[in-house]
Amino acid sequence: MNHGSGRPASSQQVYEALGALGAAPLLDPQLRPDGPLPEYRLPLLGALLATTELEITTALDGDDRQSALGRVALGWDESIDRDPPSALGVLVARMDNTSLQIASLDVAGVGHITAWAAARMTSDLLRALLSLQLGDRSRAVMALEAAEESARNVVAGIREARAATGEDEG
């Protein structure tokens, strides 16, 4: 993804954006006099994403959450290309990221795996939609098959969670 210039942001630019938010990791200027190396770009982008999401989460803590969400969505809409494949590609990446983050949570309980499966299902459904937009029927079919498997896992997980709460007794 680029930011309108046709070029992706460099490691240095991402590092500077983190600095503007007060979240830049410490770099030893003697070891890195030229700033962050290009291979740090993706981890820095991940840090920028987390920092941005924390900022948004904090901003949404007020009374008018729906209105705040609408303003966040407006900013997103204005920043993303207006063609559906670009927006869908970003959403697929976001859901892939979300499913990995859910999987890496150190929590116990039946809901954890179910939440992961739900995120995978959403990612696969969006991937299928993107594939259809791009005219790639075979990739859409594979994504739909994966989404169906995840859907079965979600339903099974919900049933397991209900049983664990005692809701299904009787």
Rounded Cα distance between 123 and 152, Å, is 15
Number of other residues whose CB lies within 10 A of the CB of residue 61: 8
Predicted confidence (pLDDT) per residue in 128-158, tens digit: 999 999 999 999 999 999 999 999 999 999 9
Please tell me the pTM assigned to this model. Answer: 0.80
pLDDT at 52 over 90: yes
Domain residue extents for the chain: 1-79, 82-170
What pLDDT was estimated at residue 7? 77
- Which residue stretches of the chain are H helix? 11-20, 41-59, 65-79, 84-104, 110-133, 137-165
3-state secondary structure 3-43: CCCCCCCCHHHHHHHHHHCCCCCCCCCCCCCCCCCHHHHHH
- As given in the structure block, the two tokens for residue 46 are 């991940």
Average pLDDT over residues 20-49: 85
